């Protein structure tokens, strides 16, 4: 599985790439801060809601620090998603490296 640091993902998006951004945090976390355009499917709901995602689309999985997203990305790979990327460091690193105005928790 590939991994992006936030600065890499930011540059990738600015270059015109349009992966599915999948946020696997809880709703209360997403209410505090989120990367624009991310689809929220909490990790615990992923097995029952994975059919909402396109298994052929490039999917970048996002969480708070990159641990849940790593596990969610591995899960997606086991059910047939071929192009999955983990956001290493999660939204906490996004706030540090890309958007210092993003609220932290």
CA 45 from centroid of its chain's CA atoms: 15
C-alpha gyration radius of the chain: 13
What is the Cα–Cα distance from 45 to 15, expressed in whole angstroms? 31
Choose, from 33, 63, 73, 95, the residue flagged as catalytic.
Answer: 63
**Furthest-apart CA atoms within the chain: distance in Å:** 36
CA distance 99 to 73: 24
* Residue 63 is a catalytic residue: yes
Rounded distance between C-alpha atoms, residue 55 and residue 15, angstroms: 23
Q: Catalytic amino acids?
A: 63
């Amino acid at each position: 599985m590939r991994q992006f640091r936030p600065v890499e993902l930011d540059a990738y998006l600015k270059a015109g790439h349009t992966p599915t951004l999948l946020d696997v945090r809880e709703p209360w976390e997403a209410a505090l801060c989120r990367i624009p355009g991310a689809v929220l499917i909490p990790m615990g709901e992923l097995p029952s809601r994975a059919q909402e995602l396109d298994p052929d689309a490039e999917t970048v999985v996002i969480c708070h620090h990159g641990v849940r997203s790593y596990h969610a990305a591995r899960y997606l790979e086991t059910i047939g998603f071929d192009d999955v990327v983990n956001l290493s460091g999660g939204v906490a690193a996004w706030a540090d490296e890309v958007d210092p105005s993003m609220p932290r928790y």
